């Protein structure tokens, strides 16, 4: 692990903020690192308001989208709400279709089959719309590159409205409206919305025509917060406001489908991290193992008892997903070792029998072992399909773009992408990708980095300090959980390895003039010798609470320790 201490803020700027907020320098420094430099910005950060959300009509083409949907509702046209099979896609479809059903009965949903149709707008979906007299398709979390497919729909007299957040190509589809804050010609003030966020802005615009305000749409924010967490978009600006209020809905009055998932795992209060690791994988498991329709059915269900039945099915899909993910990860690691590829700059593996629904997870698992840009391929029809994942700081989308001569189709983000190619191009692509990454990556990025916000002492960690830290939530990209470093720590002598195979480290640390504090270090069991015999050491960690026998105390969650 590389430990990188973030630079100290400029002293006069720090003093001004500390004086205006009446907080200590550590809190002031944490705020400035997050781009918060004034009393007003801090107020907006600590006290988000729905009034902070932008006018949806600032988004390019929003007026056209609303006008076309209003016309469809007025004339009783059939509207098909189309979205991908992942969390962002299924929550988007659930959100927009639920809202439209309050305005018209003529609404249906469509999720493409991961295996038969693949990612994005599909010809099969357009044929379904044509065969069933749908004259308008609203595509969510996809479509910004579907030029040929939108043209195909137009031939069949079907209009398209696209709500996407992926990077557009050089040309936009010939749709009625293309809502995408990443369009070069779109002046919307915030361009990091997820697909469900763009869908929410469309609903906000439609509702405003009915005389409704954003307060009337709060019930939909549990879906938006789930998508924000799952899609790993920055939790800054508008996303932070949406996630903040969405978490309140999840914890106080979630829709029956999300309530049923929480009921299954018996969790009391969820953070955004819980949404990412508990709610999102279960919604995703439907599309991975069976069909994304199961997720939409769960999310739009209004009867809790029925939702519970659907949640039990989804729980089974999630168990199946875990088994497949574990087996394929083992086989992929074996393939890297057998082919003697441990020293490469990339991991590119392929097996025609691997389950397409879990290759993205497997790519992330491989990065845990070999920290480098990774692609996991499997057979998909007569082509090969892959999921790409990257390491922090390296743009895998750009690397794929540089290898596009070997690729049939690709799309995605800086850190996660998907692609298809012909089987005969696999080896040439594998070498081209290795060459491109070798040429462009800063080699330091191949060692995992821990970015440390502040160096502090144990005496700085007080209940009051932790209460302020909790108000920095929800955490995520752009506003990560604060990480601290402390030097000259000693174990009190009772440090030990715990858990299966002694994988984890549990110690109590001490420092002069400070209270002792318990630490847990997951997967740090191998570092026990560094802290034994009261040897001084330094640690990086986050601060959280530990509840045991009804007692709540502060603890340090160790990320790494060094001599």
Q: Let me know: does 323 contact 286? Beta carbons within 8 Å.
A: no
Is the per-residue pLDDT at 412 higher than 90?
no
CATH level 2 (architecture), domain 339-446: Roll (3.10)
Between strands 484-491 and 454-455, the pairing is parallel
Tens digit of each residue's pLDDT (9 = 90 or more) over 344-360: 999 999 999 999 989 99
Residue 501's φ and ψ, nearest 5 degrees, are 60, 25
Residue 314 pLDDT grade (very low, low, confident, very high; cuts 50, 70, 90): very high
- pLDDT tens digits, 439-451: 999 999 999 999 9
pLDDT in tens, 201-248: 999 999 999 999 999 999 999 999 999 999 889 999 999 999 999 999
Q: Is the dihedral of CA 308, 291, 414, 227 positive or negative?
A: negative
Mean pLDDT score, 281-285? 94
3-state secondary structure of 212: coil
Q: In the predicted model, what is the mean pLDDT of the chain?
A: 95
Q: Which helix (H) or strand (E) holds 109?
A: strand 107-110
Domain boundaries, the chain: 56-313, 339-446, 450-562
Structure tokens belonging to residue 292: 């994304």
What are 45-81's pLDDT values in tens digits?
A: 999 999 999 999 999 999 999 999 999 999 999 999 9
119-170 pLDDT, tens per residue? 899 999 999 999 999 999 999 999 999 999 999 999 999 999 999 999 898 9
Contact 308, 263 (CB under 8 A): yes
Confidence of residue 366 (pLDDT cuts 50, 70, 90): very high
- The pLDDT assigned to 119 comes to 81
Residue 21 has pLDDT above 90, yes or no: yes
Q: Which residue from 546, 438, 440, 111 is spatially nearest to 298, judged by alpha carbons? A: 111
CA distance 266 to 249: 17
Residues in the chain: 563
236: which 2 tokens?
């800054």
3-state secondary structure of 87: helix
Q: Which two tokens stand for residue 174?
A: 């010939």
The whole-angstrom separation of Cα 190 and Cα 182 is 9
Interstrand relation of 504-510 and 484-491 (parallel, antiparallel or unpaired): antiparallel
User: Given the DSSP bridges, would you call strands 347-350 and 517-521 parallel, antiparallel or unpaired?
Assistant: unpaired
Q: How confident is the model at residue 547 (pLDDT cuts 50, 70, 90)?
A: confident
- 514-525: pLDDT as tens digits: 999 999 999 999
**Predicted confidence (pLDDT) per residue in 453-508, tens digit:** 999 999 999 999 999 999 999 999 899 999 999 999 999 988 999 998 899 999 99
Q: For residue 266, what pLDDT is reported?
A: 79
pLDDT band at 537 (very low <50, low <70, confident <90, very high): very high
pLDDT at position 280 over 90: yes
**Which residue from 267, 276, 490 is spatially nearest to 364, judged by alpha carbons?**
276
DSSP letter assigned to residue 479: B
Q: In this prediction, what percent of the chain has a pLDDT beyond 90?
A: 90
pLDDT category at 265 given cuts 50, 70, 90 is confident
User: Average pLDDT in the 91-107 region?
Assistant: 98
Count of CB atoms situated within 10 Å of the CB of 162: 29
- pLDDT, residue 115, reads 81
pLDDT tens-place string over residues 170-209 = 999 999 999 999 999 999 999 999 999 999 999 999 999 9
* CA–CA separation, 6 and 270 (whole Å): 29
CATH of 56-313, one of 3.40.640.10, 3.40.50.1100, 3.20.130.10, 3.90.1640.30: 3.90.1640.30
Averaged pLDDT, 404-424: 92
Give the integer Cα–Cα distance in Å for 472 and 46: 7
Q: Are strands 496-498 and 504-510 parallel, antiparallel or unpaired?
A: antiparallel
The correct CATH number of 450-562 out of 3.30.1330.120, 3.20.20.70, 3.10.110.10, 2.40.50.460 is 2.40.50.460
Measured N-to-C along each axis, helices 280-289 and 87-100 cross at an angle, to the nearest 10 degrees, of 100
What is the band of 31 on the pLDDT scale with cuts at 50, 70, 90?
very high
Question: Distance between CA 226 and CA 280 in Å, rounded?
Answer: 7
Start-to-end CA span in the chain (Å): 13
Residue 513 clears pLDDT 90, i.e. is over it: no
pLDDT over threshold 90, residue 552: no
């Amino acid at each position: 692990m590389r430990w990188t201490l973030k630079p100290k803020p400029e002293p006069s700027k720090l003093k001004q903020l500390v004086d205006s907020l009446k907080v200590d320098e550590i809190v002031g420094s944490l705020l400035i690192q997050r781009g918060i430099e004034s009393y007003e910005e801090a107020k907006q950060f600590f006290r988000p308001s729905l009034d902070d959300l932008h006018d949806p009509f600032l988004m390019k083409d929003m007026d056209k989208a609303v006008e076309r949907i209003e016309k469809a509702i007025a004339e009783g046209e059939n509207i098909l709400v189309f979205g991908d099979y992942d969390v962002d896609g299924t929550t988007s479809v659930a959100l927009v279709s639920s809202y439209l059903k309050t305005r018209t009965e003529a609404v249906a949903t469509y999720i493409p089959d991961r295996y038969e149709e693949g990612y994005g707008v599909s010809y099969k979906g357009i044929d379904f719309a044509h065969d069933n007299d749908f004259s308008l398709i609203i595509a969510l979390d996809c479509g910004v590159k579907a030029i040929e497919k939108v043209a195909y729909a137009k031939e069949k007299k079907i209009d398209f409205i696209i709500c996407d957040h992926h990077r557009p190509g050089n040309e936009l589809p010939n749709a009625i409206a293309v809502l995408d804050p990443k369009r070069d010609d779109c002046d919307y003030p915030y361009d990091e919305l997820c697909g469900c966020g763009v869908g929410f802005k469309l609903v906000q615009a439609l509702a405003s025509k009915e005389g409704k305000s954003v307060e009337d749409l709060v019930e939909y924010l549990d879906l938006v917060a789930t998508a924000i967490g799952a899609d790993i978009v920055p939790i800054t600006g508008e996303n932070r406001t949406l996630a903040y209020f969405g978490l309140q809905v999840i914890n106080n009055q979630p829709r029956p489908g999300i309530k049923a998932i929480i009921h299954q795992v018996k969790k009391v209060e969820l953070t955004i991290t819980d949404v990412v690791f508990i709610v999102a994988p279960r919604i995703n498991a439907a599309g991975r193992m069976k069909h994304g329709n199961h997720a939409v059915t769960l999310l739009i269900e209004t009867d809790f008892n029925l939702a519970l039945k659907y949640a039990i099915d989804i729980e089974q899909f999630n168990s199946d997903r875990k088994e497949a993910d574990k087996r394929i990860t083992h086989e992929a690691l074996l393939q890297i070792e057998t082919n003697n590829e441990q020293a490469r700059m990339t991991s590119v593996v392929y097996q025609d029998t691997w389950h397409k629904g879990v290759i993205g997870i497997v790519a992330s698992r491989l990065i845990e072992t070999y920290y480098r840009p990774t692609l996991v391929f499997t057979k998909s029809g007569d082509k090969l399909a892959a999921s790409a994942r990257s390491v922090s700081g390296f743009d895998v989308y750009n690397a794929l773009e540089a290898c596009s001569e070997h690729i049939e189709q690709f799309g995605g983000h800086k850190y996660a992408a998907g692609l298809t190619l012909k089987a005969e191009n696999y080896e040439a692509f594998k070498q081209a990708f290795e060459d491109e990454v070798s040429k462009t990556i800063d080699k330091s990025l191949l060692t995992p980095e821990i970015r440390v916000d502040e160096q502090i002492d144990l005496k700085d960690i007080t209940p009051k300090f932790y209460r302020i830290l909790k108000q920095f939530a929800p955490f995520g990209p752009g506003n990560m959980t604060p990480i601290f470093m402390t030097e000259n720590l000693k174990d009190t002598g009772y440090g030990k390895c715990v858990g299966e195979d002694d994988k984890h480290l549990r110690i109590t640390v001490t420092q002069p003039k400070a209270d002792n504090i318990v630490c847990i270090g997951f997967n740090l069991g191998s570092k026990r010798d560094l802290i034994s015999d009261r040897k001084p050491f330094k640690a990086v960690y986050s601060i959280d609470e530990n509840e045991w026998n009804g007692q709540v105390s502060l603890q340090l969650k160790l990320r790494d320790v060094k001599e």
